[in-house]
């Protein structure tokens, strides 16, 4: 029996991203936008309109409609797949907390900043006692 002990850089970030908002309502609204984008990517992926891990240079029509509706105009089509990665979102009063093992998080950063957050990003490997790491 062979046991594989491998470490890849693509899933080892233990990244924490915290969007600090002026009020709880703004934080909740930003979290909702992130959830809507995540759901749209899931729908598009299930329908075969996109494939996570494959570069795309175009938005799907449903994704473009959603982006217009939620007033998010800063994302590129290739960033949408980030909402298909494994991550956790948590609302903590005036904070939206994202935790993930991924390093590609530009879409989340852009949405949080665009919705009014001051954003803090760090590796919980290096700062394990913050209460937010995985």
pLDDT digits (tens, 9 = 90+) for 35-60: 999 999 999 999 999 999 999 999 99
**82 close to 40: Cβ distance less than 8 angstroms:** no
26, 114 Cβ separation under 8 angstroms = no
pLDDT grade, residue 11 (50/70/90)? Answer: low
Q: What is the mean pLDDT of residues 115-119?
A: 98
What is the model's pTM?
A: 0.88
Q: Give me the percent of the chain exceeding a pLDDT of 70.
A: 91
Q: Whole-number mean pLDDT of the chain?
A: 91
Per-residue confidence (pLDDT) for residue 132, from 0 to 100: 84
């Amino acid at each position: 029996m062979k046991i594989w002990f491998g470490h890849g850089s693509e899933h080892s970030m233990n990244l924490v991203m915290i969007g600090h908002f002026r009020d709880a309502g703004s934080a909740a609204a930003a979290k909702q936008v992130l959830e809507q984008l995540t759901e749209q990517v899931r729908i598009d992926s299930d329908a075969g309109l996109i494939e996570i891990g494959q570069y795309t240079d175009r938005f799907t029509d449903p994704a473009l409609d959603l982006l217009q509706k939620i007033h998010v105009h800063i994302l590129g089509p290739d960033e949408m797949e980030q909402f298909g990665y494994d991550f956790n979102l948590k609302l903590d009063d005036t904070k939206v907390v994202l935790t993930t093992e991924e390093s590609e998080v530009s879409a989340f950063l852009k949405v949080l900043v665009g919705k009014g957050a001051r954003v803090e990003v760090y590796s919980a490997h290096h700062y394990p006692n913050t209460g937010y790491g995985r």
